[in-house]
Amino acid sequence: MQDKFSKIGFILAVAGSAVGLGNAWKFPYLVGQNGGSAFVLLYLFLTFFIGLTIFFGEVAIGKLSESDPVNAFKKLAITNKNGWKFAGFTMLGAIILVSFYTVVIGWIFKYAFMVLTNLPADIETSAAIFTDFVSKDVSSQILFFTITNIICFYIVSKGIKSGIERVNVWLMPSLLVLVIAMLAYSVTMDGFIQSAKFLLVPDFTKITFDSVLTALGLAFFTLSLGVGVIIVYSANLPNNTNLVSSSIIIVIINVIMGILIGLVIFTFVFEFGAEPSQGVGLVFISLPTLFAKLGAFGHIFAFALFTALIFAGITSAISMLEPFTYYLIREFGFTRKKALVSIAAFVYIAGILCIFSNIEGVKENLVFFGKSLFDCLDYLVSNIIMPIGGITVSVFVGFVIKKEALRELYGPYMSKFMFDLWYFMIRYIAPIAIAVISVNAILS
Ligand code: TRP
């Protein structure tokens, strides 16, 4: 049975993977912390130069091999096949990622319900609600984490076409409708102009070396690179797809969704005089208090926003499950169900340990290298596994795969100039840029 994406299904599924909590939550607070528009511009530039370069690299590995990540590297390597296959194991990063990512989607679930009846009126109350929830409320966290995982595993158990593709085809347009509806309302508020200025009119004096590195890390994260997701989705691409235009459309959807969600969030921040640079608490602490000022309608608006975040999160979480599932099926002949049950056992234990690593009284036992298990896994994936994944992809595509095979793959869709530029970028610029960000992140 052929279980491949359709062309539009591929675009929506990859865009669904890319558009996630990274765009909806990390992007706004990093923009806030790094001074606004100039950072957005930097992020756009790096997304198109470095991000898209690696993205094309992963698409090439996936499409040329039509395999899971491990066998893809093995199949395409000319010598040292057994050494290269280890590069595919960066897909384990996606499984670690999904373990704590679904904890956060669980928090958003809880908030979607909470904001229907309760919007805290001031920052202190709001901060106390969030801190109490994360540091004391084990049972709700486990409940919502479980619900999130049941949904995600169920979707992936239905396979690529009737599970992953079908859900993305519904959720991605719904996400867009929600965001546009919220935007339409935001436009009527005075804060909108300030928000648009903050995000769109660049002030280059705010750019520092650190913001360049942060923007590159964000570009990498929001494009779901380095952990085999793009490889596996591309392995299931229908033939005769225009690889270049599809990839560019995906990257554009990704940045546009980030900016639109950012516009909505900052409209509220400016309208009600909150601080744009407040960091991680933006979505869970500050926004609920801003919605409280809208009265009854605030509840509906807050619910819409958290629902949008759930949609964005779920389409990303399901993509994290697919690489390893696909590997277990193809390498060991597991059925899809059996593969998912094995993965679920790991995700469930790791996720619950992450929840406990924030709980008062227990968390002391779950500290590693001076960080909670939760932060530790986040650090491991974002600062170690993903950069290693990015560098191995660039070196592999740049120096190991035959240039002729790449030219044959991309030739019909790229001009000679564009191909040569991409090839140069993936050999020299991308790996060095990634090495610099990760070394800097590890040292700082
Ligand atoms: N792109 C996702 C987001 O913006 C997060 C993400 C990072 C991801 N790496 C991934 C998703 C790998 C799927 C697979 O939230």
CA distance 277 to 29: 7
Task: Name the CA radius of gyration of the chain, rounded.
Answer: 21
The answer to whether residues 93 and 386 touch, using CB atoms and an 8 Å cutoff, is: yes
Atom 12 (ligand 1): residue with closest C-alpha? 224
Residue 276 has pLDDT above 60, yes or no: yes
Tokens read off for 287? 């926004």
CA distance 367 to 375: 9
Residue of 100, 320, 381 to test ligand 1 pocket, by largest number of atoms within 8 Å of CB? 320
Which of 52-61, 178-187, 208-217 is the most confident on average? 52-61
Task: Say how many Å lie between the CA of residue 223 and the centre of ligand 1.
Answer: 6
**CA of residue 428 relative to chain centroid, distance:** 25
Task: Say how many Å lie between the CA of residue 204 and the centre of ligand 1.
Answer: 28
Task: Say how many Å lie between the CA of residue 16 and the centre of ligand 1.
Answer: 9
Atom of ligand 1 nearest to the CA of 312: 15
Q: How many CB atoms lie within 10 A of CB 228?
A: 35
The answer to whether residues 311 and 175 touch, using CB atoms and an 8 Å cutoff, is: yes
Sequence-ordered alpha helix ranges (H) in 229-385: 229-235, 243-271, 281, 287-292, 296-332, 336-356, 373-379
Atom 10 (ligand 1): residue with closest C-alpha? 224
**CA of residue 321 relative to chain centroid, distance:** 13
Q: Give the rounded percent of residues in the chain with a pLDDT score beyond 90.
A: 73
Task: Say how many Å lie between the CA of residue 230 and the centre of ligand 1.
Answer: 10
**CA of residue 83 relative to chain centroid, distance:** 28
CA distance 131 to 141: 12
Tokens read off for 315? 């389409």
Residue of 23, 31, 43, 97 to test ligand 1 pocket, by largest number of atoms within 8 Å of CB? 97
Q: Which residues pair with 368 in a beta bridge?
A: 371
Over residues 148-167, mean pLDDT: 95
Over residues 391-402, mean pLDDT: 96
Task: Say how many Å lie between the CA of residue 190 and the centre of ligand 1.
Answer: 33
Atom of ligand 1 nearest to the CA of 229: 14
The answer to whether residues 284 and 51 touch, using CB atoms and an 8 Å cutoff, is: no
Can you give the pLDDT at residue 365? 87
DSSP 278-308: -TTHIIIIIHHHHHHTTTHHHHHHHHHHHHH
DSSP 209-242: HHHHHHHHHHHHHHTT-SSSHHHHHHHTPPTT--
Q: Which residues pair with 372 in a beta bridge?
A: 367
Task: Say how many Å lie between the CA of residue 206 and the centre of ligand 1.
Answer: 27
Confidence of residue 279 (pLDDT cuts 50, 70, 90): low
Task: Say how many Å lie between the CA of residue 316 and the centre of ligand 1.
Answer: 6
Residue of 98, 104, 221, 232 to test ligand 1 pocket, by largest number of atoms within 8 Å of CB? 221
Residue 348 has pLDDT above 50, yes or no: yes
Atom of ligand 1 nearest to the CA of 25: 15
Residue 194 has pLDDT above 50, yes or no: yes
Residue of 17, 30, 230 to test ligand 1 pocket, by largest number of atoms within 8 Å of CB? 17
Can you give the pLDDT at residue 281? 79
Residue 160 has pLDDT above 50, yes or no: yes
Say how many CA atoms lie within 13 Å of 243 toward its Cβ: 30
Residue 99 has pLDDT above 60, yes or no: yes
Over residues 67-92, mean pLDDT: 95
CA distance 364 to 372: 8
Can you give the pLDDT at residue 1? 45
Task: Say how many Å lie between the CA of residue 254 and the centre of ligand 1.
Answer: 11
Confidence of residue 2 (pLDDT cuts 50, 70, 90): low
CA distance 344 to 350: 10
The answer to whether residues 313 and 109 touch, using CB atoms and an 8 Å cutoff, is: no
Amino acid found at 339? A
Atom of ligand 1 nearest to the CA of 223: 1
Atom of ligand 1 nearest to the CA of 227: 12
Residue of 30, 227, 384 to test ligand 1 pocket, by largest number of atoms within 8 Å of CB? 227
Nearest to 230 by CA among 57, 353, 364: 57
Atom of ligand 1 nearest to the CA of 313: 15
The answer to whether residues 90 and 228 touch, using CB atoms and an 8 Å cutoff, is: yes
Can you give the pLDDT at residue 282? 83
CA distance 6 to 3: 10
Q: Give 22's DSSP letter.
A: I
CA distance 56 to 390: 12
Nearest to 390 by CA among 172, 223, 161: 223
For ligand 1, which residues put their CB under 6 angstroms from it?
17-18, 20-23, 94, 97, 221-222, 224, 227, 229, 316, 319-320
Nearest to 40 by CA among 263, 193, 362: 263
Atom of ligand 1 nearest to the CA of 21: 15
Terminus-to-terminus CA distance in the chain, angstroms?
50
